Amino acid sequence: MPICISPDLPAYEILAKEHIFVMSEDRAAHQDIRPLRVLILNLMPKKIETECQFLRLLSNTPIQVDVEFLHVSSHISKNTSQNHLATFYRTFDEIRDQYYDGCIITGAPVEHLEFQEVDYWQEICQIMEWTKLHVFSTMHICWAAFAGLYYHFDVPKYTLPQKMFGVFPQRVLMPHCQLLRGFNDVFHAPHSRHAEVRRVDIEKVNRLCILTESEQSGVHIVANNNGRQYFITGHSEYDRCTLRQEYLRDAQKGMDIALPYGYFPDDDPTREPHYSWGCSANLLFSNWLNNCVYQLTPYDLTSLEVYNWDWEAGL
């Protein structure tokens, strides 16, 4: 089944050319089924690129998914036109009375800042609190994972001495949890961040469970034991060339940037990078939609209020 988005969204034409099944809102309105409602809070600078990345992964499921985009109103985007935001995005005030089956909060290039120094921190806190009663399952990516773990569970983040940058092997610790069904014991995931969370702090919170981790890149996926929150420190949504673009951008600025680990064949940046995480990325998001959302979310989303914070879905 397709993802349902506006045919005017730039990603619509891009994904259609890739033979990814997208459906216009008009066609979806005439189908007698209830699709999943997924909200994407896009905090990344290159919003159109990020839209395509997540939509590719959300399309890999037999379930129809209606996707809406949200941006923070307390920050002015410098890399995306205001016309694009006004046309395809909504603000929190516009959706605060809505309910969603799933929500994705993306990363943001602000790991070097203390949370309270981020200009949209208060708005992010409002949104994260709102998800507890208005979203069945929320996935937090990279900086959003740090923000979510700190806001909900007071887990601190730590600044790294150098950027965690590359594609690292991740070890599955909970192979029978719904999110990781079908995963190999070891899989790969891209990381691009200046901060981390640590196992010792997470283990102090009895409602949290570490699902995957890496000897090189540390804690990777953390879950709330109620099965309704996931915190992912990596970027499985990245395209083949995203890390290369980041490396070239920083190198051209004269920054002291190391080659991304495990990415270029023979560490040669002139060669086509390996795309070693595509299968696991698609499985991660299809498992989330199919097993963690669709199988458990109520048909009537307004009944989400009865699924309180301690409701036990189980991992």
Catalytic residue numbers read: 142, 235, 237
Give the closest residue to 100 by CA, choosing from 58, 68, 128, 56.
Answer: 68
Separation of alpha carbons 79 and 105, rounded Å: 18
Contacts of 137 by beta carbon, 8 Å cutoff, 6+ apart: 101, 102, 103, 227, 228, 229, 230, 288, 292, 293, 296, 297
Backbone angles phi, psi at 46, to 5 degrees: -90, 85
Q: Look up residue 106 and give its two tokens.
A: 């993306």
Residue with tokens 């004269």: 254
Could you give the angle at which helices 47-58 and 10-17 cross, rounded to 10 degrees? 50
Backbone angles phi, psi at 218, to 5 degrees: 80, -155
CA distance from start to end of the chain: 26
